[in-house]
Amino acid sequence: MVKSIEITKSSIRERLIIDSEVWMHHPDDHDFQPRASIEGRILSIENAGKSIEPANIELSDEEYVVAERDRLIELRVKFGVTGMHGVLTHKNPNPRTGPNAKKLAESRWKTLLPLSL
């Protein structure tokens, strides 16, 4: 299940692009169904069917015009799992920063979401 949703950045290329981070409870959770809506100038991203706090961002004039014109957004999601991608509890005394360094896999996802105005 989704623990929280956070919008990190909004930008415009050909359409409105929203970058976000979604934190999950467990690595095997696959229950994320995003919905986007605009009320006034506030864009809200929420998970369908689950009662968590939606992520909100206030759009600039140009971003609002592009969103209203296209009636969709491009949502880029970076998934994180609580405990796996959080704060390290035991640091390795010999961290490697070279090309052979091991990193945790980060799930990324990109989709087009219709807007409800």
pLDDT band at 60 (very low <50, low <70, confident <90, very high): very high
Beta strands in 13-71 (DSSP E): 16-24, 34-39, 42-47, 55-58
Q: Give pLDDT tens digits for 70-98.
A: 999 999 999 888 766 555 566 666 656 66
Share of the chain above pLDDT 70, in %: 80
3-state helix, strand, coil in the chain (%, to 5): 10, 50, 45
What is the predicted pLDDT for the residue at 55? 95
- Residue in 71, 79, 75 with CA at minimum distance from that of residue 111: 75
Query: What does the pLDDT read at residue 17?
Result: 97
The pTM (predicted TM-score) of the whole model is 0.79
